Structure 1
């Protein structure tokens, strides 16, 4: 019996799973002498789901499984289906439910919830219906197996293609091409019995000279007679005299062509069993190889340029790493220095408080204005250091939120008390308004406090003898505007937001400078002779904090008339990553 006939007789594997021995006997009798596509059946029998699992693990190419539902347990068959589809990740085996207890597992429920291909009552499966059911399942398995093999082959071609276009030498290139083509042949429908391992890759020149570029299998050390035979085959192919009958049994020749020009030939033995689909995939691979071969010369011509480019990329990468190291060192330095400076500053502020109290007790009120200035200056410097520490944490990606529920009115009272000395120093009047009972807010108390103080401090700095209004409003908005905080309001269809609006009558901001004010270390007037002091970090940090809590900051301004900053925050904050906004 020749190889092709042997392949055709390879049996289809059928698994019968049922706890009734009589069912197995009847199935064997019904499927006796059954053939599909000239191939017989090989039956595997299991009296329990556990026994079936053991068979499935060892026999990975089961074509069809006929499974009873009620066996060692009422749902043993259903668990077996999940085992096949989910644990073994087997999507090819066709699964047929055959049950005598439909009341335990109704067909509609089983078909909707389990990945099966057919559902039969045991009384339905007569000899004739069992024949048609098995035949239909085998045809489906055959088609799906072919599609799966083609998918794997196409994936292999796609995976191999980049390697073909980056060869290190001619020898390695042609060795890789021959190896990949042989490997592709063994991925086909009949790969389980494939014996393709012997082959040659031969190139031809314009003078009809043939060069064996790569060898595999027994051709690794070919005899002189075989080399002459192959040369004759190549010459016949080139002259148009080639016929399959001139080849040894089970051998094929595959042309390597580029732009309708013959580049070479691939000679393979033990390959007559390949299907037309296999040939089509091989031709896709050979077309890729031919295109890669054409680019090989260009590859070597550009090699020196590529090496130079790689050198420049290495230099650029080193520069990038040095920049990252410098940035990290800067952040580390800022963080350490901020901590070192805060300790003595806290002492200065604390002692100034104590001296103020002693001055009052001693009747030295004339010292209080100077002590207030010391205290305020220390507090301002501490705020600057805190801002530097915050920006270093932001750059290092170490910012964390401490979410708690707190009274908005309490927060506003503390903010007003804290900012009052600065307002008084600049001769400004602070007005606070709220439209209703504000209630509670779930957010980071200290970061929201810092946001409001930063904006109020800016308003006081850029306003002289003017008025600053702080307005707090609580609004209910459609859930569509909730963004990253939508999950905090899953049922209501709407969300609550707080709006903190700070309006001043100061110098205002030029329209073309509005997009700069949230950049770190930047003010609208960024010259060396600017009139107003400050690090330019307050708004940067405020915007980052706001976005981290799912909110945003809006600004509008008229030069010479003042500015309005509006902080919008959800009433229940869900942490988000501000870098994605």
Structure 2
């Protein structure tokens, strides 16, 4: 080794630093300095579960009150009975249990005057955990007593942590079950896990809907906290290192606790897989892990509830949209029906008015016909009717009858044109033959009017038409020609 060589010390590992920080804290409250020195000497090399001791001291009950107020994490108290008063130690026990409400700390009475505080009475009347005379408390017995007290403290602390954790899980589950937004639910999960573990941890909630061959592409971040907050709502926002840890949890389908990182695995009834990735600065105790597992069991149901609620919300929105559309359709249909009803009402009123007009118009010519018929009847009763007179009366009957026939024809034609149920039955026919047939039937009318009807038609004029409607149309044309 040369003069310039440097001595390099190995860095302490995280585990060694963590062990150094975690020490059992013991309070020695006694007015005898020798007791303090002896206790420190006897427990100088004490170690339990890799943890040493941190001894804090007070030399009176009053100092003990301040000490316990400033150090609420004391695990064991070695307490003298007689100090500034004969019952100072017993009064401090009552202060610890009732005023401070500390039921976890283990209290061991050490007295040099057993007669001042009889063991049976003290054990019954005061909430202490052991009673020792100073003369019998050798180094070995002190070691045994402290070890038993610390183990009892650990067990009670775990029970208290479990009780507190279960209360928090119940409260958290209630809050999460009331959450209706998936984003808020995911953020609430991260918040509640941090509260449950009593740490400020960064984390993110990663979800994979289905398991397939291409598993890397279907990972998405529902929510993030701490350094991961910016990744909330990102698809594929999981970095390579985190993805590897998540894939391990998904493959093994269990919670995985790594160094400074934990991946909590959740499998829902709907087949989705969720991973809660946490960066936790401290070591998770078995109690912490057990509480986290219980909490994750509740999350599975809560997650499905949020998904179902979102689906119900989407269906409700769709249903409302359809109801609005259907309501508009029904409103339009009702409006159309109302319009049709008004049209029918007006048509009915017009029909009544038209029938009144027709009755009035037909009544006059019909009255004239009846009157002339009565005249002819009277003339016939008197005897032979002169031919000129008979022709005159018959002519006066024909005129109103012709008027009536024209009116009726007009009404029938109008009714036929307005009918909604006119049936057209087309077929192949010869228009020339049809026209010849119509003209032959109307030649007698032409002869009476001293008119001549001639038809010129190409042979076999084939058409696709309704014969009745065509016959009616040709007949109307010829009749109009006669007029």
Q: Shorter-chain TM-score category?
A: 0.5 to 0.7
- Aligned with 2:104 (options 92, 113, 119): 92
Contact 1:263–1:290 (CA<8 Å) still a contact in 2? no
1:132 aligns with 2:144: yes
Q: What is the rounded CA distance, in whole Å, between the counterparts of 2:55 and 2:301 in structure 1? A: 48
Specify whether residues 303 and 74 from structure 1 end up closer, same or farther in structure 2 by C-alpha distance, changes over 3 A only: farther
1:231-284 deviation digits (Å, cap 9, x = unpaired): 344345445699979x6x422211111249442101112367213332221111
Residue deviations 1:391-411, cap 9 Å, x none? xxxxxxxxxxxxxxxxxxxxx
Is 2:31 the counterpart of 1:19? yes
Matched, 1:210 2:219: yes
Question: Cα RMSD between the aligned structures?
Answer: 2.9
Quick check: 1:252–1:271 contact (8 Å CA) kept in 2? no
> How many angstroms does 1:40 deviate by?
0.7
What are the ranges of 5 or more consecutive residues in structure 2 without an aligned counterpart?
Answer: 1-11, 317-483
CA distance change for structure 1 residues 25 and 243 in 2, over 3 Å: closer, same or farther? closer
Output aligned runs, 1:355-366, within 5 Å.
none
From the superposition, tell whether residues 240 and 79 of structure 1 become closer, same or farther in structure 2 (CA, over 3 Å). Answer: closer
Given that 2:207 and 2:274 are in contact with CA atoms closer than 8 Å, whether structure 1 keeps it comes out as yes
Q: 2:167 aligns with which of 133, 138, 155?
A: 155
Equivalent pairs, count: 297
Counterpart contact for 2:209–2:271, Cα < 8 Å: no
Tell me which of 39, 57, 70 is aligned to 2:82.
Answer: 70
Q: Which has the higher strand share?
A: 1
Larger Rg computed on CA atoms: 2
Trace 1:271-420 onto structure 2 (pairs within 5 A).
Answer: 273-300=283-310
- For 1:523, the equivalent position in structure 2 comes to none
Which residue does 1:8 correspond to in 2?
19
In the alignment, the residues of structure 2 paired with residue 71 and residue 238 of structure 1 have an alpha-carbon distance, to the nearest angstrom, of 62
Closer, same or farther: CA 107–212 of 1 in aligned 2, 3 Å: same
Q: 1:282 to 1:215 in 2, by over 3 A?
A: same
State the match for 2:336 in structure 1: none
Does the 8 Å CA contact 1:258/1:287 hold for their aligned counterparts? Answer: no
- TM-score of the pair, normalised by structure 1: 0.48
Alignment of 1:47-66 (within 5 A): 47-66=59-78
State the partner residue of 1:270. 280
Change (3 A) 1:21 1:268: same
Name the residue aligned to 1:254: 264
How much has 1:35 moved relative to structure 2? Answer: 1.1
The alpha carbon displacement at 1:3 in A equals 3.4
Match of 1:79 in 2: 91
Secondary structure at the residue paired with 2:116? coil
Please give the alpha-carbon distance, in whole angstroms, between the structure 2 residues aligned to 1:238 and 1:98: 55
| 3-state SS, counterpart of residue 119 of structure 1 | strand
Segments of 5+ residues of structure 1 without an aligned counterpart are: 187-193, 307-581
Alignment-derived partner of residue 569 in structure 1: none
Q: CA 1:301 to 1:203, structure 2 compared with 1: closer, same or farther past 3 Å? A: closer
Q: Distance in 2 between matches of 1:241 and 1:90?
A: 40
1:4 Cα offset (Å) = 3.5
If the length of structure 2 is used for normalisation, what is the TM-score?
Answer: 0.57
- Aligned 8 A contact 2:270 2:304 in 1: no
Alignment of 1:413-428 (within 5 A): none
Q: Is 2:147 the partner of 1:143?
A: no
Find the counterpart in structure 2 of residue 113 from structure 1: 125
Q: Is the CA contact (8 Å cut-off) linking 1:252 and 1:272 kept in structure 2?
A: no
Return closer, same or farther for 1:25/1:271 CA change in 2, 3 Å cut-off.
closer
